Amino acid sequence: MRYVVIINLDYENYEHGRLKALFEQISAALQERDFVRDGRRFTIDASPEEAQQLARGVVDELEQRYNAVGESIYSYIKEFFGFEVESAVNLLLPPGDDIEVSELEEMDGVYLTDLLKR
């Protein structure tokens, strides 16, 4: 089962360079735990419980490092959430009811499908 973790930092209230460095630390730590980075999304083939535990563990470990120098990363985190890929809805696509599938003519042994609504 594919699980997604998204972390957004508070770029509106904190210095961009500092948050970029923090995001790269989070990204590297998640990738060390087998998450795959896709922009701001991190995916992993794991149960929701395992994925959440791994992601929280990364943030908790970084928090301990920041605490050692008198800081906290939690103030920099705006959103930190996860979900199963299967429950995601791509809002750039039309609703499923609006998609019509029709088979087109065969072209040199290749079948094409027209997914555009007409």
Measure the CA angle with vertex 22, ends 47 and 54; round to 5°: 15
Q: What six digits make up the tokens of 81?
A: 């959430």
Q: pTM here?
A: 0.74
Percent share of the chain, pLDDT over 90: 69
Of residues 96, 28, 97, the one with CA closest to residue 62: 28
User: How confident is the model at residue 87, as a pLDDT?
Assistant: 82
Whose structure tokens read 């985190």? 77
For 46-60, write each residue's pLDDT tens digit.
999 999 999 999 999
CATH classification of 2-87, choosing from 3.30.360.10, 3.30.70.240, 3.40.640.10, 3.40.50.300?
Answer: 3.30.70.240
Q: Examine the pLDDT at 62 and tell me if it is beyond 90.
A: yes
User: How confident is the model at residue 117, as a pLDDT?
Assistant: 45
Write the burial class of residue 42 (CB in 10 Å: 0-12 exposed, 13-18 middle, 19+ buried): buried
